[in-house]
Structure 1
Amino acid sequence: MASAPQQPQLPLFFNDLMPLNSQDHKTYRTRSIDAAPWLAKAHAIPLTVDEFVQAQRNFPIVFSSGENPLPLALMGLNEGVNTFVDDAGKVTEQVYLPAYIRRYPFMLAKLKAEATDLSLMFDPTSEAIGEFDEGERLFDDEGNTTDATKRVLEFCQHFEQSAQRTQAFLTEIKNADLLMDGEVAIQREGEENPFVYRGFKMVDQEKLREISTEKAAEWNKNGIMMLINAHIFSLELMRVIFARQVQQGTAPKPNAQA
């Protein structure tokens, strides 16, 4: 259900990556779009720890399976199901949108594997960037970055800093051996057997209760306990998301497993 979004080389949502530069993209603009077809079938969105408190109000927060788990906000419980976005890619109600979504079609990345600096990249297939009549210019007539580009760069820099804090959090809870294979059973009314969701990780609450007093005090002080609790509290929303799928007709068939 919640395996880390994987593509051979490109991150989730990106079809291509191109470095932004004033020579090739001097006339490019960025514009707002009211629909995101690329989001319509995405059920698990990468999340940073800076977003846990806001995101846990709307979505279950789980961790992907595998050796390098990532926090994920579940907008649906099944592959290809996003209960907050219609088929056209329009968000159907006011909810918190993870920064990973809001960052697209831009990101910071290394131009070469051996590079030490990150460059501002974009997905040239996105309808949010290109040679349009409307929107904000990315470069002025002299080829200097505009305020629009500076805002994009600042947002991407903040995202990378949040990603580093997320890795530090994950290292801490992994070293404490707190992550366990998750399983949630949801009983659908009128059906004999519950629907069982697996394929994700969650905090083992028994092990959490067994951590030392010193470690608990440290985590309370540095905010890690707050993040763990946000994750645990958010799991109650699994049933809410399932109910949304039932209402929208995207719930799994009886006896299916996730």
Structure 2
Amino acid sequence: MQSIVDTVSLPLFYNQLAALDSVVHDGFRFEPVRRPADLSRQNVVPLLGEEFAPAGRFYPVVFSSGDRPVPIAVMGLDTGENRFVDAQTGAFPRGLYVPAYVRRYPWLLAHRPGDGELILCFDPSSGVVRAGGKGGYPLFADGGPSPALSRIIAFCHTFEAAAARTENLVRHLMELDLLKDAALDIRTEMLAHAPAYAGFRIVDGARLLDLAPARLRDMAHDGTLQWIHDHLKSLDLMETLYGKRRGRRPARIARALRSAVRIANVA
């Protein structure tokens, strides 16, 4: 059985990290954000809880396995293949939802050693930040962040706040034992060796319904129940994703394959 999800170690896509400094980088400019170089070879991308609804319209939303599960958008069943982005440019087709984790790159807020203050960092290998020249946007103006850099800083802080809420969701799911291991089980007589994909978790709907009414009311009030609903609804897209893997097939076979794809529990 092949694992859909390799170990997700953050920060994904980042090769290096350098702290942005108003003295060191005075006069530097940056280009509009580019997509991570490895995006076309990444079959899963981390998600924030608020993104379950918009991302779940296009990608199955599941949780990684391991001691610290991470919500992820599944963009390909096979490791090293992203079925949605352009293999050369890493660009998403127009109209497709782009996860905030991708939009944040190459910027990142990190805790400074010593005082723990959050500082803005970037990946120097991205080629986004450069010394002088024309084009792009200035990093600093009048001794402070430029308007363009201020927008990036604001986005990164918004991202961190949403990430904290997402971590709370995962912690609650773990405490309530609501996450279960699952597999994508392909069953059809047309495939001599039916593939199966594992390595991910989903919310156990039966256990969710067994929760005390007061707990469910609290989850409905803080929005996490809606996030769980969006996650479960997105699982229907697994068969669509499998169809992308199989490529073009005669309509008769395609219909049979779609009816054969299901999410199975892992004993």
TM range (shorter): 0.7 to 0.9
Distance 1:35 1:108, change over 3 A: closer
For structure 2, the residue ranges without an aligned partner over 5 or more in a row are 250-267
- What's the secondary structure of 1:125's corresponding residue? helix
Aligned-partner Cα distance in 1 for 2:229–2:104: 26
Aligned-partner Cα distance in 2 for 1:91–1:200: 24
**2:8 matched to 1:5?**
yes
Q: Which residue of 2 aligns with 1:138?
A: 139
- What's the secondary structure of 1:73's corresponding residue? strand
- Which amino acid in 1 is paired with 2:5? A
Q: Which residue of 2 aligns with 1:256?
A: none
Query: For 1:89-238, what aligned pairs fall within 5 Å after superposition?
Result: 89-112=90-113, 114-131=114-131, 132-140=133-141, 142-187=142-187, 190-238=190-238
C-alpha contact 1:53 1:230 (8 A) present in aligned 2: yes
How many pairs does the alignment contain?
244
Report the TM-score, using the length of structure 2 for normalisation.
0.85
Deviation at 1:76, TM superposition (A): 1.1
C-alpha contact 1:35 1:91 (8 A) present in aligned 2: no
Deviation at 1:35, TM superposition (A): 5.5
For structure 1, the residue ranges without an aligned partner over 5 or more in a row are 250-258
Q: CA RMSD in A?
A: 2.0
Aligned-partner Cα distance in 2 for 1:248–1:119: 48
C-alpha contact 1:33 1:127 (8 A) present in aligned 2: no
C-alpha contact 2:34 2:105 (8 A) present in aligned 1: no
C-alpha contact 2:13 2:36 (8 A) present in aligned 1: no
- Which amino acid in 2 is paired with 1:136? Y
Deviation at 1:115, TM superposition (A): 2.9
Aligned-partner Cα distance in 1 for 2:25–2:53: 38
1:190-233 deviation digits (Å, cap 9, x = unpaired)? 31343211111111122112112222222122211111111111
- Which amino acid in 1 is paired with 2:181? D
- Larger strand fraction of residues: 2
Aligned-partner Cα distance in 2 for 1:37–1:235: 28
1:67-121 deviation digits (Å, cap 9, x = unpaired)? 1101011111121111111221232343111100000000000121x43211000
Deviation at 1:38, TM superposition (A): 2.3
Deviation at 1:180, TM superposition (A): 0.8
1:165-205 deviation digits (Å, cap 9, x = unpaired)? 00111111111110111112124683134321111111112
Aligned-partner Cα distance in 1 for 2:108–2:96: 23
- What's the secondary structure of 1:215's corresponding residue? helix
Aligned-partner Cα distance in 1 for 2:189–2:102: 34
